[in-house]
Every structure is written in structure tokens, then in C-alpha cells.
Amino acid sequence: MFVTAKNFSQLNHSIFLSALGTQEGETAEVADETRETYPDVDYSIADYVAAIYLNKWYIAQIKTIDIEDNTIEISFLEKKKAMFQWPSRSDIIWVDRKDILCKISNPQPSVKSKRMLKVNHEDAAKIEKL
């Protein structure tokens, strides 16, 4: 079952929460290290997350959630120095739920340019620890 922005509000919340559970062993390898995942975090359409792709973390926004496959479609932002921006061409992929490091606060527009976004310091520190 796909969850999109259109049908998300119609989905039974308890079914949604139970379907997002993960298997035993809440760790995954990243660059020969283990990291903790957050199985009890409720993800929603439009949430911002830190996700692992090719052994690096990236900031992305959730577009679609597939409860049956336990996968999430995300749209990556690109990093520009200490800030992020939406790429000129969309960078959207499906990832396993275990590849989502954590949910973060919505990035805020920078003072100089509304197109450039910055992640708050607490979220950046949390991501780096993972």
C-alpha cells in the first residue's frame, strides 16, 4: 500500500504505525561501522530526514511511504557549503526504512537567500553522532 499526500489522512493511524515496525537487530552497517536506527519514529509525508545513501548521509524530504515494502520515497537536497538547496533536477529515490537515520526539523531559509536552507545545530550534531 502506498501512502501519498492525497490518501495519507484516510489511512487508519493504528495500521500505519504497526506497519512501520522493524525487525529485530536495530543496527545496519555503514562504512564498516554500526549505527542505531529509530524504529519507533513515526514518519509522515513532507517530513525532513537524514538518510544514508552510498555510505554518506544526506538531507531529504519524504514524498511517499510504502507500508507493505517498508520503503520510503525521498527527495534529496544538495549540499552547498554549510547549507542545502533543492537541486535543479529532482533527485528522488526509494530507500529502505532502515536507511533513514533520523527525522529532523524543517530546514530554515538562510538570511541571504530564501533558496538556501540551513539545518539547525542540534539536528546537525545528532546526525554526525549517528
**Residue 61 · residue 48 · CB < 8 Å:** yes
Q: How many domains does the chain have?
A: 1
Residue labelled with grid coordinates 550534531? 125
Q: What is the percent of the chain with per-residue pLDDT over 70, rounded to a whole number?
A: 69
Instruction: Return the pLDDT at 42.
Output: 85
Considering only residues 114 and 90, tell me which one the structure prediction assigns the higher pLDDT.
90
pLDDT tens digits, residue range 46-92?
999 999 999 999 999 999 999 999 999 999 999 988 899 999 999 99
Mean pLDDT of 106-125: 87
127 contacts: CB under 8 Å, gap ≥ 6: 50, 57, 101, 102, 104, 119
Q: What is the CATH number of the domain that holds 80?
A: 2.30.30.140
Instruction: Return the pLDDT at 112.
Output: 78
Domain that holds residue 15: 2-129
pTM above 0.75, yes or no: no
Handedness of CA 129, 34, 26, 70 (dihedral sign): positive
Residue 2 has pLDDT above 70, yes or no: no
